[in-house]
Amino acid sequence: MSADHHGSSAISERVRHVEALLEARGLVDEGEIDRRIDEFLAGGSPANGARITARAWVDPDFRDRLLADANAAIRELGLSMSGGLQEQRLKVVANTEDEHNVVVCTLCSCYPIALLGPSPAWYKSEAYRSRVVRDPRGVLREFGLELPAGTRISVWDASAESRYMVVPRRPEGTDGMPEEELAGLVTRKGLIGTAAV
């Protein structure tokens, strides 16, 4: 096995073989799996997560609804978690002055593709997946994020059916900045919790 578990050519060969068998036996149409994947990925981009974050920054009521029931709240922005075969539960957690959240999938690489697009290679690496639950402060430091000693760290392991997104803290000095401009400040790492914004 390679360290990045999607990078193995042996696995790619097996996947192609299984796909060919499924097509040969008429269980899926030719190219159906690729089409389904394309449909799933269409529209998935960190820009969605950034829009949600900017709205949460400017609208405290929306932020409350987002933290209470994220699936319902993101529909207000025309977004949804139902790009796959069934709607996935979304859990959104917000960073505060006292608490920083960071997301991982230690068992595989579960990720909110509809809101963040395909996941970055480091998110799928064994190094990140095994170390961030054990030593999040050290791992975040390697990402260039030095948290104050008093900041509690909460790690969320996407070990079952939910997907997670972090709302980073609104940067200082952005009072009065328009929502669209605020969204432009938000990074993919910020939405996973490995950057401040």
Partner 1 sequence: MADRFAPGDAVRTSTADPAGHTRLPRYARGAVGRVVELAGHHPLADDRARGLPGTTQAVYHVRFAAADLFGDGDHAVTVELWEDYLEPADPRGGTP
Main-chain phi, psi angles of 185, to 5 degrees: -85, -20
> Could you identify the residue written with the tokens 């699936």?
71
Three-class SS of residue 196? coil
Among 65, 89, 131, 169, which residue interacts with partner 1 (rule: CB under 8 A)? 89
φ, ψ for residue 23, nearest 5 deg = -70, -40
Q: Considering the complex, state which of residue 4 and residue 69 has its C-beta at the smaller distance from partner 1.
A: 69
Instruction: Pick from 6, 36, 75, 134 the residue near partner 1 by CB under 8 A.
Output: 134
- Applying CB under 8 A, does 18 fall inside the site for partner 1? no
**Binding site annotation covers 162?**
no
- Residue 82 marked ligand-binding: no
153 makes contact with partner 1 (CB under 8 A): yes
The reply to whether 8 sits in an annotated binding site is: no
Of 1-9, 115-123, 153-161, 175-183, which part binds partner 1 (CB under 8 A)?
153-161
**Nearer Cβ to partner 1, position 95 or 106?**
106
- Residues 180, 127: contact at Cβ < 8 Å? no
Of 10, 9, 30, nearest to 21 by C-alpha is 30
154 labelled catalytic? no
Q: Is 110 annotated as a binding residue?
A: yes
Between the CA of residue 17 and those of 22, 27, 195, what are the distances in Å?
A: 9, 14, 39
Catalytic annotation present for 45 = no
Using CB under 8 A as the binding rule, whether residue 142 contacts partner 1 is answered as: no
Bridging pattern class, strands 163-167 and 90-94: parallel
- What does each C-alpha distance from 162 to 29, 35, 88, 185 come to in angstroms? 30, 24, 6, 26
* E-state strands within the chain: 90-94, 99-104, 152-157, 163-167
123 binds partner 1 (CB under 8 A): no
Cβ(186)–Cβ(196) under 8 Å? no
Size of the site for partner 1 (CB under 8 A): 20
Decide if 108 is catalytic.
yes
- Interface segment toward partner 1; rule CB under 8 A; list 3-11, 24-32, 52-60, 157-165: 157-165
Select the residue interacting with partner 1 from 65, 131, 137, 169 (CB under 8 A): 137
Report residue 60 as tokens. 């405290």
CB closer to partner 1, 104 vs 183: 104
> Which residues define the annotated binding site for Fe(3+)?
105, 108-110
> Which residues define the annotated binding site?
105, 108-110
